[in-house]
Amino acid sequence: MVQMAMGMMGLWITHPKGRHPLIAEVQRDYAFLLSAYDVEPGAMTPRVNEMTDFNIWTFNSRAFPAITPLVARQNDRVRIRVGNLTMTNHPIHLHGHEFEVTGTDGGPVPQSARWPEVTTDVAVGQMRQVEFTADALGDWAFHCHKSHHTMGAMGHDVPTMIGVDHRGLVGKIQKIVPDYMLMGERGMGDMGTMQMPLPDNTFPMMSGTGPFGPIEMGGMFTTLKVRRGLGANDYADPGWFAQPQGTVAYEWQGAPLASTAPRQTAPGQAPGAASARKPGGGHEHH
């Protein structure tokens, strides 16, 4: 158990000798082991006797942004195996695609027991094997859906300061507590842009940067990058996706839009509710 708490564990994957009717051919086959650590800021060794209160959550002992992306050529069939050796469940979520759970520790899942999903919970000690066709070009988040598992070493006792005008306050507090730092008044993104000094060997908090600025993610988070025309064995990071012109949101700088007539609300629908439709094998993604 001490070895496991320090990260010494791995996956054992047995491939069938021949074709199996329930095991599909895939072009990309990824495997993740989920693990959690309790590492005090500046410490060189995890606290191996922690039972539940971990502060570092990892995919293959790597945490975003210090993790490579999953890469797929458009329309590749992709398999991802996820094993959980932490002491809590992890709802593993993929953006942009629907997958099926095609296997568990018990073997392949019968075709009749598969359904489209975007999140699958991987309970303690379980394996889940998911498969999908990487048909949507772009950079897609792949992460645990417990939000604190996508955040790095947090100052758990930091008060929420969103919306508080704390100009001048930090200086006063720092007279008493020299290293005192406030949570940003606009949220966690402020933390990513601060270059605060950290003790050696400290896991930085949510320091990833994307094409549009800081990404407030750390821990169990990476990206799936789907591109056209990659080589079959090309796993190199292709960089950030070049967004097609006209697909990026922007702040409206023109004249305010004229007010429109009262909205006609369909019977049984809340006023103002948007009508949403799940993609059914199509290409409209969330």
What is the residue type of 174?
A: Q
DSSP state of 98: -
Q: Cβ distance 209 to 192 under 8 Å?
A: yes
Instruction: Characterize the bridge pairing of strands 119-122 and 90-94.
Output: antiparallel
Work out how close the CB of 243 gets to Cu ion at its nearest, in angstroms, rounded to a whole number: 29
Residue 191 CB, nearest approach to Cu ion (Å): 20
Cβ at position 220, least distance to Cu ion in Å: 5
Toward Cu ion, which CB reaches closer, 151 or 230? 151
CB of 258 to Cu ion, least distance (A): 46
Cβ(7)–Cβ(35) below 8 Å: yes
Identify which of residues 91 and 204 has a Cβ nearer to Cu ion in the complex: 91
Measured between alpha carbons, how far is 136 from 119 in angstroms, rounded to an integer? 17
DSSP 8-state code for residue 262: P
Report residue 203 as tokens: 């896991």
Taking the least distance from each CB to Cu ion, the nearer of 38 and 76 is: 38
**CB of residue 126 to Cu ion, shortest distance in Å:** 13
Smaller CB separation from Cu ion, 79 or 149: 149
3-state secondary structure of 174: helix
Positions touching Cu ion (CB under 5 A) are 90, 144, 146, 149
Residue 33 or 144: which CB sits closer to Cu ion?
144
